[in-house]
Each structure stands twice: as structure tokens, then as C-alpha cells.
Structure 1
């Protein structure tokens, strides 16, 4: 599947998971997202992630989760009375709601806002799955946004709003987050999807927050794999786009953004 986004005068496409791109006559720049091998002639960065094999039985998947986290999932379902919801049809209202929520989360965490134009293009291509956990009063606790191919789902965005002044709320949020991932895993397995991709794995050892995210993901089992994110100029205009990007970053005295800097 080829998804194209317009950036000024440039057409920027993306293809995922080693899917052969179709005719590229309308694309200036092409992003290859999470390919097994680097693309010859393009700029490539390593990207590590954690995958769960959804061809295993549901019992095997459940047993792969740590005992403590299984307890938290059961408690979220049975006592916290949180509600799991997913959307078969994603309209503009849902896109706006999840985007507004994510932007509040990003502000809280010091991250960039969601790219709404890119999200809309992916939705239009039928490549996006959205789910959430909410309280019984309808208040949203957590949103998940996935990129979906025919046999693999990849977590693109996960957002939740913390309330450090309410320890009870924080406890419910922590349990609900685990329950959310489990419900997504079961649903995708039942849809016949074979791989659940957590959307990144931090390979460093200094960022304590990212190390904590690693620990969360590790408790669901799975294995760490290395992929490559690549970018290539397809047309003369596309090569100009990459050249201008390098100049802009140089003038801004900033490092060229690594293609592997996907959000967890």
C-alpha cells in the first residue's frame, strides 16, 4: 500500500513492512517504514521494535504476560469497570477527538503534536485502526492509534493524561493501559493478523522514561527485532527535497532527524 502526503510542492509517499510499492510516477520522495533490509541508494537508519506472534493461541499469549500484569488486567476488567471501545468506521469527529486528546498528552509530555494531515491520509487509505479505554461516564482514559497491514499492526500513537494529584486515578490508568493492550491483542488475533508491533524499542541505557516503557512492553512477551527506516528521492524534485532538508537542518544547527525517531 502506498500512502501519499503533499508537502508544499512535493509528494511524499510511504510504504510499510517490505510491501513492494506500486507505480511511483506521482511520488517525489518515498519513505520505507520498518523494512527488513536497508534500501540501496537511500538514507537508512536502524529501528528496533518488539513483536508479539499472534499466531499463538490466546492461552499462550496470556501466559506470556507477567503474573502481576495479568492480575492488573483482570482487575481493570472486573473491578475498575473501564470500557474498551474500537471504531469500525473512522470519521472526522473521531479523528478530531483522538487528535485533540493526543495534543493535550503531547503538551504534558513535551512532545510534538500529532500530524493530522498525515493521519487523515492514512485513514483515507484504510490503514488506521483506533481504539480507546473510557470510564463509564464516557471520559476517555487512553487512545491507541495503529497502522494496519494485512498481517501486521503497528502502534503509532498511545496517549493518556496523568493526574499526579490523584493516586487512585493513576492506579486505574496504569491497569487500564495494560487492559487496553490486551484487548487490542486479542481483537487483532481474532481478525487473523499475525504480528503485533509495539512501535519501538529503546536500545540506549540513559533515558529512564524510555527504559520504563521497555519494561512495560517486555512484560507482554514477544521478541526484539531490528528493522530499517529508509528515505529515497525518487524524482529530481525529490532529491532536491532531501538536499533542502539537510541544508535547513544545518542552518538551524540541529542534527538531521533520525528516521528511527518514532514515538513509543
Structure 2
């Protein structure tokens, strides 16, 4: 179970991932239970929605993992590695925020913030694909050690940076996912969660993201999210006044 202590409209929220701690207090507090993988018996919480993601089995051998990749993916990973791209892991938040927000600004996406990532506490880790000292791609992760699950939280690339080799950036990002999975496997994790999958994607962009994630050979799984009634009301109120989604 990964428990995040978050702030929503200046109030404290308990956000559980994958499993949760049962208790009557969840009924009356601001509680979110995301991507539950356990039988849900707490009738004091309401089922808000369902979603999907792609999960890769990290208990497989490297040979079995590579066999599940598409042929072109294997080739591009090899090319990035042979081309000199290296992978580094860090826990420094400010550096990731700067890289991600530059990417978000270029692509008209919501930015992140140091405060939001600090809410993940010890459950957070960052990885980078680096070529000749320049960061080409970056990932942030939510780590659930008890359940041995790691979830891709945010991803950004330097593809739009002036002078960047776009082909190399794309290959570096694929290598980064591959090396991330190898690293987390070495740390005892068993599931790599790609962080979402758009069922019946409404746009070509989302269909492309689906295809990218599926090329790693994982399986699509359904996820169920549950929220306390006070949280649902506050979320509705925040949406009404345009406060949802702010960093």
C-alpha cells in the first residue's frame, strides 16, 4: 500500500494506491482509493469510476521480457544503448520539476510542482536518459514497496528542444522504460504499471500512446477507484469553481 498525504483545496486528503487500510474514519474523511487490487468491503466509500492500465510482469526473465517486445522496439533500444545513451536514477525533485515543466509548457500540458511531488514522500523516484550530458527523457515513479508495484507517474522528453535529435530522443525514452523495468526488478518489484491506458481512445494521440505502451508486451488490466462521499463532494465543488488540477 502506498499512502500519499495530499492537499486539496487547503484540506488534507489520504490517497491510497492498490490496497487500503480499512476503518470507519475513511467514511467521513477525505479519502481516495486508487487502482484497487483487493476485495473492497468498505461500504462507507462509493465506487466513483473504473479505468485501465497496462502492467508488465517483472518476475519474467530478461529473455522472456524482450520476447514480448515488438521487433522495432528491441531494435531501437539496442540502437540507443549502442549510441551512448546512459540511464541515471535520482531523488532530487527540483531538477525533475524544471525538466517536466519545460516539456509541459511546450505541449500545453498541466505543469507539476515541487509540492505535488513532495506529497509522494519516500514513494517517489526519478530516472533520466542522458546523452553527452544532456537529459533527453525523464520519468517519475510512484513506488509501492509492500505490494511490489511501481507505477509510471509522469513522463517528459526533450524532443522539442532546439537542436535535439528527435529520433535519438524517441529511442532514448524506449531505452529508459526498459532500463527502469530492469532496475525495479533488481529491487524486488514484481509489477511495472505504465500509468494508464485509454480504452477506445477518442484521439489519434491517445491511440499512439496506447500502441507505445502495448509494444512492451504487457497486459491491459481494469482498475477501480473509490472515494469517500466528502471527497466526491469537495471534488465537485472544486470543479465548479475551476480549482481542480491546479498545482
When the two structures are superposed, what TM-score results if normalisation uses the length of structure 2?
0.86
Question: Does residue 1:98 correspond to 2:96, yes or no?
Answer: yes
Cα offset, 1:121, TM superposition: 2.1
Cα offset, 1:101, TM superposition: 1.0
Where does 1:5-16 land on structure 2 (aligned, <5 Å)?
5-16=6-17
RMSD: 2.6
Q: Which residue of 2 aligns with 1:68?
A: 72
Residues 93-142 of structure 1: CA deviation (Å, up to 9, x unaligned) = x211101111111111211111431211213xx11121101112x21111
Distance across 2 between alignment mates of 1:149 and 1:117: 20
Unaligned runs of 5+ in 1: 234-238, 258-264
Distance across 1 between alignment mates of 2:24 and 2:116: 20
On the 8 A contact 1:13/1:29 being kept in 2, the answer is yes
Distance across 2 between alignment mates of 1:209 and 1:7: 30
Q: Which residue of 2 aligns with 1:156?
A: 153
Distance across 2 between alignment mates of 1:164 and 1:4: 34
Cα offset, 1:57, TM superposition: 0.8
Residues 177-233 of structure 1: CA deviation (Å, up to 9, x unaligned) = 111011001111111111000000011233111100111111100100001122214
Where does 1:12-161 land on structure 2 (aligned, <5 Å)?
12-20=13-21, 28-36=29-37, 40=43, 41-79=45-83, 81-87=84-90, 90=91, 94-123=92-121, 126-136=122-132, 138-150=133-145, 151-161=148-158
Q: Which residue of 1 aligns with 2:210?
A: 214
On the 8 A contact 2:14/2:31 being kept in 1, the answer is yes
Give the total of aligned pairs: 238
From 229, 249, 261, the equivalent of 2:239 is 249
Unaligned runs of 5+ in 2: none
On the 8 A contact 1:10/1:28 being kept in 2, the answer is no
Distance across 2 between alignment mates of 1:218 and 1:187: 20
On the 8 A contact 2:18/2:36 being kept in 1, the answer is yes
Residues 5-30 of structure 1: CA deviation (Å, up to 9, x unaligned) = 234552111111124368958x9311
On the 8 A contact 2:87/2:129 being kept in 1, the answer is yes
When the two structures are superposed, what TM-score results if normalisation uses the length of structure 1?
0.81
